């Protein structure tokens, strides 16, 4: 079990950047919470590649194969970074990194064991041949291009939920 | 890009017009004040000085061997399927990028923000080839439909008020008027989403490239950077040779300094690290990835006395603290890069013969050098360039004569005293001839410092 302190810092920092971190205790609890946060979504994309994604209960009626049609993307993130409250998605294992970008809501499932304390820890472990695309996601899409007024949800998701399992 | 001789930047007139523009003044004051505040808040409780020192050393190492890092990067990026182009001049880069797009039959091109493409005036060139280029960063999109150029390297439309943007959208995009940033953002989002999904090709910049992995890195907030680097089948990255980091393990340092200095954020919403083209069977990345590494005079700067300007990571912190920039905004500089770093870089890239009037755009207060997250000695470079301007005879004749006169007087007590006396006597006349200048100067005193002791 990962140090609860690292998880706590991750939750605190991801909340600071306007993501919505939720701590869940195991798969049953994860699916309860998923049921609630997906209640109002009409088209759900979940690639079903990793174990946690396979364990996620997604209503088949509302499940879509194309992320371009989805209102929400549910995906496991390969890592979290406590220092910045970021989740990490990559192109490894045939994943489309843009799947977490096009829908207005991104639900990241994150195993507590995969949370790194610092950016240095994460990058030191990457090696010299990283996947084609590594994206760190730190809160929702935002802009301040008009009079520096913060506006959430420009081209990417306006809502980022993180389920820490 | 070299300007022709005789076309030197008319900075003083530009600045005068900017100061008379009250909308601009209000926008600039609001913007620079809030950026300064955000930045100061963001560096509380962190070892900022220690990180600055480390980043400065790291950037020094890079500019000491740019060619070595470009070579290493080219080898590693090529291994991963990218096509790396090393180009000498702005013209070379424009021609090559145009040719790549034409050869691939691309017509609709989406762009994410890149100051290097502004430096080489890429959009104009591509449009002359009949290509449709859409800027997708909200600020860049605003100034593109307004037919303007960026006035800040981080927030390109910083000079525009929400009412102006509302009217612009209303007129150009035929939508209802609104001055609510959320509504305006949503309008742009709807239009640009279609562009992302149908574009033939993408052009982006890069905040840095990483030599030991062959990666390019983009810091973005809106998500347009992610769109353009993942959706279109062809992606051209345009960046300049000095933006190397030796190793991917150096990235955390840049990640900690750049967003804090630029927008006061701990980290931007998105950080994309792109290494090579899409692999067979993969679902992410452009099938064809070109990386343009532009020199455009930088190798020469790296070998000269002003090389430390190339440490710059283009965060914009020096602009936000500059009293001159805060007063007149970016357009008055009539140059791709405004503010303190812009004055220096523009002078070196465009040549002193064209850019010398920009060297007036400083009070030499040094706030820029204190704010710089990589310790570019901005104040020292500004001083040295101003000395060089005098040496090369590009300062004003009146300034040279005045300085020569003062030099003479300062060496001779009689002349000095005569000068003081005549200054007192002629003061009302001087006020009549040039009220603006004289009103800002202290009135010559009757009881001078020297007289107190004589």
Question: Are residues B241 and B99 both part of a single domain?
Answer: yes
CA distance B410 to chain A (A): 50
CA distances, A162 to each of A79, A142, B209 (Å): 12, 18, 30
Put simply, the answer to whether B284 touches A148 (Cβ < 8 Å) is: no
Question: Are residues B67 and B134 both part of a single domain?
Answer: yes
Average pLDDT, chain B: 93
Contact with chain B for residue A136, Cβ under 8 A: yes
Q: Summarize the confidence of residues A111-139 as an average pLDDT.
A: 96
**Last residue within a domain, chosen from B341, B357, B391:** B391
- Encode pLDDT of B161-183 as tens digits: 999 999 999 999 999 999 999 99
Question: Are residues B379 and B426 both part of a single domain?
Answer: no
Is residue B368 within 8 Å of residue B190, measured between CB atoms? no
Please check the confidence at residue B5 and state whether its pLDDT lies above 50.
Answer: no
CA distance B177 to chain A (A): 15
Question: Are residues B71 and B107 both part of a single domain?
Answer: yes
Residues of A in contact with B258 (CB under 8 A): none
Task: Kindly list the strands in the beta sheet with B215-220, ordered across the sheet, starting from the edge strand earlier in the chain.
Answer: A115-116, A79-81, A86-90, A133-137, B270-275, B215-220, B208-210, B244-245
Q: Is residue B13 part of a domain?
A: no
Q: Is residue B10 part of a domain?
A: no
Residues of B in contact with A139 (CB under 8 A): 269
Residues of A in contact with B137 (CB under 8 A): 145
Instruction: Look up the ipTM and state it.
Output: 0.97
- Encode pLDDT of B367-411 as tens digits: 999 999 999 999 999 999 999 999 998 887 777 788 888 888 888
CATH number (domain holding residue B133): 3.40.50.10420
CATH number (domain holding residue B363): 1.10.1060.10
Question: Are residues B362 and B442 both part of a single domain?
Answer: no
Please check the confidence at residue B454 and state whether its pLDDT lies above 80.
Answer: no
Question: Are residues B237 and B339 both part of a single domain?
Answer: no
Q: How confident is the model at residue B1 (pLDDT cuts 50, 70, 90)?
A: very low
Domains annotated on chain A, with CATH? 4-164 (3.40.50.10420)
Strand A159-164 and strand B108-111: pairing?
A: unpaired
Total domains in the fold of chain B = 3
Please check the confidence at residue B441 and state whether its pLDDT lies above 90.
Answer: no
Q: Helices marked H in A4-159 — which ranges?
A: 4-16, 26-37, 51-55, 119-124
> Which residue in A86, A101, A22, A26 sits closest to A56, CA to CA?
A26
Q: How confident is the model at residue B278 (pLDDT cuts 50, 70, 90)?
A: very high
Question: Are residues B355 and B434 both part of a single domain?
Answer: no
Question: Are residues B185 and B72 both part of a single domain?
Answer: yes
pLDDT of res. B153:
85
Question: Are residues B241 and B194 both part of a single domain?
Answer: yes
Question: Are residues B356 and B440 both part of a single domain?
Answer: no
pLDDT of res. A2:
53
**Last residue within a domain, chosen from B259, B283, B298:** B298
- Encode pLDDT of B349-370 as tens digits: 999 999 999 999 999 999 999 9
- Residue B313 belongs to what domain range? 305-391
Question: Are residues B229 and B342 both part of a single domain?
Answer: no
First CA to last CA distance, chain A = 11
Question: Are residues B169 and B283 both part of a single domain?
Answer: yes
Q: Summarize the confidence of residues B34-43 as an average pLDDT.
A: 93
Q: Is residue B41 part of a domain?
A: no
**Last residue within a domain, chosen from B366, B391, B416:** B391
């Amino acid at each position: 079990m990962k140090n609860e302190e690292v998880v706590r810092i991750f939750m605190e920092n991801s909340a600071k950047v306007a993501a919505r971190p939720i701590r869940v205790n195991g798969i049953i609890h994860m699916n309860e919470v998923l049921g609630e946060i997906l209640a109002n979504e009409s088209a759900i994309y979940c690639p079903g590649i990793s174990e946690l994604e396979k364990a996620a209960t997604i209503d088949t009626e509302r499940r879509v194969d194309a992320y371009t049609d989805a209102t929400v993307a549910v995906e496991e993130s390969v890592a979290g970074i406590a220092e910045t409250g970021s989740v990490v998605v990559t192109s490894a294992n045939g994943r489309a990194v843009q799947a977490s970008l096009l829908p207005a809501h991104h639900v990241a499932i994150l195993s507590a064991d995969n949370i790194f304390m610092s950016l240095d820890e994460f990058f030191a472990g990457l090696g010299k041949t990283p996947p084609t695309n590594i994206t760190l996601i730190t809160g929702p899409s935002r802009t301040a291009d008009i009079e520096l007024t913060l506006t959430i949800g420009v081209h990417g998701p306006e809502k980022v939920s993180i389920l820490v399992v | 890009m070299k300007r022709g001789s005789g076309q030197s930047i008319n900075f003083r007139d530009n600045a005068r017009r900017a100061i008379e523009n009250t909308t601009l003044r209000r926008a600039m004051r609001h913007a620079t004040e809030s950026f300064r505040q955000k930045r100061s808040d963001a560096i509380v409780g962190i070892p900022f000085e220690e990180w600055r020192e480390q980043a400065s050393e790291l950037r020094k190492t890079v500019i000491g061997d740019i060619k070595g890092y470009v070579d290493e990067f080219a080898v590693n990026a090529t291994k991963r399927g990218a096509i790396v182009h090393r180009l000498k001049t702005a013209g070379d880069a424009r021609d090559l990028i145009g040719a790549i797009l034409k050869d691939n039959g691309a017509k609709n091109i989406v762009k994410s923000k890149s100051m290097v493409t502004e430096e080489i005036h890429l959009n104009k060139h591509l449009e002359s080839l009949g290509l449709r280029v859409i800027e997708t960063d909200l600020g860049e999109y605003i100034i593109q439909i307004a037919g303007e150029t960026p006035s800040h390297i981080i927030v390109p439309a910083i000079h525009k008020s929400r009412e102006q943007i509302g009217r612009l959208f209303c007129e150009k995009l035929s939508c209802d008027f609104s001055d609510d940033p959320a509504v305006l953002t949503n309008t742009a989002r709807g239009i640009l989403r279609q562009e992302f999904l149908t574009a033939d090709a993408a052009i982006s910049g890069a905040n840095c490239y990483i030599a030991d992995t062959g990666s390019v890195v983009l810091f973005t907030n809106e998500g347009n950077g992610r769109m353009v680097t993942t959706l279109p089948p062809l992606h051209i990255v345009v960046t300049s040779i000095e933006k190397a980091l030796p190793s991917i393990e150096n990235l955390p340092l840049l990640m900690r300094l750049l967003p804090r200095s630029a927008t006061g954020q701990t980290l931007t919403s998105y950080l994309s690290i792109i290494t090579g083209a899409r692999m067979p069977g993969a679902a992410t990345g452009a099938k064809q990835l070109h990386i343009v590494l532009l020199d455009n005079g930088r190798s020469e700067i790296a070998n000269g006395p002003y090389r430390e300007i190339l440490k710059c990571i283009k965060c914009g912190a020096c602009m936000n603290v500059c009293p001159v920039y805060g007063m007149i905004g970016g357009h008055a500089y009539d140059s791709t890069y405004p503010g303190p770093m812009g004055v220096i870089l523009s002078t070196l890239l465009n040549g002193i013969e064209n850019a010398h009037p920009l060297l007036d755009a400083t009070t030499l207060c040094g706030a820029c050098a204190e704010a710089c997250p990589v310790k570019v000695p901005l104040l020292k470079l500004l001083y040295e360039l101003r000395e060089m301007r005098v040496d090369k005879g590009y300062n004003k004749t009146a300034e040279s004569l005045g300085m020569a006169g003062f030099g003479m007087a300062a060496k001779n007590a009689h002349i000095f005293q005569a000068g003081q006396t005549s200054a007192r006597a002629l003061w009302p006349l001087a006020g009549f001839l040039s009220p603006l200048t004289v009103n800002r100067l202290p009135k010559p005193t009757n009881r001078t410092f020297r007289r107190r002791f004589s």
